[in-house]
Amino acid sequence: MTSKTKIIGISNRIHLNLLESVLADYLHTGIFHKEEYLNLISQYNEGQNRAGKVVSHLSSIITKNKKLLTFLKKHLGEDVLLNLSKSEKRSLYTCLLCNAFPIIYDILIIAAQTLTIQESISKQVIIQKISATYGSNRSTDIAVSETLTI
């Protein structure tokens, strides 16, 4: 019997401007340009290690959403991001992030469930609830902190 473990997978913030630039480039060329993105990331993050992690996260987003991105390009064109409203872009980014990193989806579910009961929520409440699924460790805390800032 095999058990499916939950993997956190995200340890650094991904700026939406950066995500948009990478997605636009990928939709236009169909190629993930790692070296170009490392240079672009240096505008947002300090340190080669952090930049490498962000590139890894971006690669995961592209890889795990390849079918969806191909579908969007085929049916809406390679300039699909230019034709979307701000709220539609945010919805698309949320979908891509949730598909690539299930912990983000779980955090959104916890936030939605909590906000139906009360008007506000603290980071500690989310960490406490998410730790039941992903374990209580530093990686969980970092993932929640970085996800909330996206």
Residues 112 and 74 reside in one and the same domain = no
Enclosing domain of residue 30:
8-85
**C-alpha neighbours within 13 Å on the C-beta side of residue 64:** 16
- Based on the structure, what is the number of domains in the chain? 2
| Judgement on whether residues 61 and 108 belong to the same structural domain of the protein | no
Determine how many CB atoms are found less than 10 A away from the CB of residue 4.
5
Q: How many Å apart are CA 14 and CA 76, to the nearest integer?
A: 25
Q: Is residue 90 part of a domain?
A: no
In this structure, is residue 93 part of a structural domain? no
* Rounded CA separation 119/95 (Å): 24
Regarding whether 81 and 14 lie in a shared domain, the answer is yes
Q: Is the pLDDT of residue 2 over 80?
A: no
pTM: 0.87
Residue 144: the pLDDT is 93
81 and 109: one domain?
A: no
Q: Is pLDDT above 60 for 1?
A: no
The answer to whether residue 75 sits within a structural domain is yes
* pLDDT tens-place string over residues 26-49: 999 999 999 999 988 888 778 888
Which tens digits make up the pLDDT trace of 56-99? 999 999 999 999 999 999 988 888 888 889 999 999 999 999 99
Domain shared by 31 and 58, yes or no: yes
Indicate if 15 and 81 belong to the same structural domain: yes
CA separation (Å) from 131 to 65, 142, 147?
26, 12, 15
- What confidence score (pLDDT) does residue 48 get? 86
Is residue 76 included in any domain, yes or no? Answer: yes
Residue 91 lies in a domain: no
Examine the domain organization and report whether 15 and 61 are in the same domain.
yes
